[in-house]
Amino acid sequence: MKHLLIVLFCITCAFGGSLHAQDKIKIISSASMFTDMAENLMTDDFEISTIVPIGGDPHKYNARPSDARRVSQADLVLINGLTFEGWITELINNSGTKADVVTITEGITPISSTQYANSSDPHAWMDASNALTYVKNIKNALVQKAPASAEAIEANYEAYKEKLIALDEEIMAKIKSIPAEKRILITSHDAFQYYGTRYGIRLEAIMGISTEAEAQTSDITRVSKVIKEGNVPSVFVESTINPKMLQQIAKDNEVGIGGELFADSLDDPSKPAGTYIGMLRHNTNTIVDGLINGPKEKAQENSADDSLISLVNMPMPLRIAVGLGMLGIVLTVLLKRRKI
């Protein structure tokens, strides 16, 4: 049904869309951090929009007919690739767009996934030195689309490049300020491998490089072991992921939440993490503070949802016993109702 809607929408665009054509060169990017990078390089020749909204999860986004319309009208589509946006090829194909599709990680050596064979970790932007390759690819695509503005785009690129180089040095120095034995970062999903490799911090996440796979009991046990052995004071939730699982782990291990990190989406534009540079700076400050000074907040008390997670943590015989008990209660209630 979803595909039919997209196809129908594109037929409508083909017959009526050109009436609304504007002079600007239209760019569409898959996620907010790439939009911000492009905005730092763009001249007035361009306008840009983003497919996945702020706070959305690009790993498992459901494209809407309005996305297909925007892609169909675009002149340039910017994507991360490395299987970050698994849904985007279908969206691009179904939209019937004539846009140039540019993979902005081109030239970056990807980190292999430790979880999936022959698969790469998509989160290359989490290393500020990789952002230099991202912006070079974006700059080249912009110059190709608006050669008359090449000089202005190049000047924007040079200025932004300087800021990225300074950011990279800033992160390096700040992470080095954490005592070596305390450099352990525990998050919800495995988005920080590039960050950890570049800046020298050990990573441990409950979920893998994609948020599509469910966490297993073995993941919870593994992370809990690292917290205990490493004497880790704080764990960190992520803006695009439900924090309940990590809060439960924090509570079970009597540690706190060091703060909220941003990986797959920027924060609102008015917030400190509302730009790409602001996001990496916010993450770094939060990590440094949480690992040196301890958590900002205690893990929240158990809610009804959390007790389900506790159930997952129980040994199998106990889980069966609890399950049978719950079934008994439900049956008793149903039988009583029938009698009434």
Q: Give least dist CB 24 to Zn ion, A.
A: 31
285 CB contacts (<8 Å, ≥6 apart)?
A: 174
CA atoms within 13 A on the CB side of 284: 25
121 near Zn ion, judged by CB under 5 A: no
Q: If binding means CB under 5 A, how many residues of this protein chain bind Zn ion?
A: 2
Q: Which stretch binds Zn ion (CB under 5 A): 180-188, 191-199, 291-299, 300-308?
A: 191-199
Q: Give least dist CB 58 to Zn ion, A.
A: 7
264 near Zn ion, judged by CB under 5 A: yes
Q: Which stretch binds Zn ion (CB under 5 A): 163-171, 190-198, 271-279, 313-321?
A: 190-198
Q: Give least dist CB 339 to Zn ion, A.
A: 53
Q: Which stretch binds Zn ion (CB under 5 A): 164-172, 176-184, 247-255, 257-265?
A: 257-265
Q: Which stretch binds Zn ion (CB under 5 A): 27-35, 159-167, 246-254, 256-264?
A: 256-264
Distance of alpha carbon 1 from alpha carbon 5, whole angstroms: 6
Helix/strand/coil for 254: coil
279 near Zn ion, judged by CB under 5 A: no
Q: Which stretch binds Zn ion (CB under 5 A): 137-145, 228-236, 262-270, 290-298?
A: 262-270
Closer residue to Zn ion (CB): 197 or 313: 197
191 near Zn ion, judged by CB under 5 A: yes
Closer residue to Zn ion (CB): 37 or 241: 241
Radius of gyration in angstroms for the set of CA atoms belonging to the chain, rounded to a whole number: 23
Distance of alpha carbon 185 from alpha carbon 199, whole angstroms: 12
Q: Give least dist CB 323 to Zn ion, A.
A: 33
DSSP string covering 169-221, please?
HHHHHHHHTS-GGG-EEEEEES--HHHHHHHT-EEEEEE-SSSSSPP-HHHHH
Closer residue to Zn ion (CB): 138 or 191: 191
Q: Give least dist CB 211 to Zn ion, A.
A: 6
265, 309 Cβ separation under 8 angstroms:
no
Residues 29 to 48 in contact with Zn ion, rule: CB under 5 A: none
Distance of alpha carbon 90 from alpha carbon 3, whole angstroms: 9
Distance of alpha carbon 234 from alpha carbon 264, whole angstroms: 21
Residues 72 to 101 in contact with Zn ion, rule: CB under 5 A: none
190 near Zn ion, judged by CB under 5 A: no
Q: Which stretch binds Zn ion (CB under 5 A): 10-18, 183-191, 224-232, 324-332?
A: 183-191
Closer residue to Zn ion (CB): 83 or 140: 83
Closer residue to Zn ion (CB): 122 or 290: 122
DSSP string covering 108-164, please?
--PPBPSSSTT-B---GGGSHHHHHHHHHHHHHHHHHH-GGGHHHHHHHHHHHHHHH
Kindly tell me the burial class for residue 151, based on how many C-beta atoms sit within 10 Å of its own C-beta (0-12, 13-18, 19 or more).
exposed
Q: Give least dist CB 245 to Zn ion, A.
A: 15
Distance of alpha carbon 169 from alpha carbon 35, whole angstroms: 23
68, 9 Cβ separation under 8 angstroms:
yes
Closer residue to Zn ion (CB): 85 or 264: 264
- Which chain residues interact with Zn ion by CB under 5 A? 191, 264
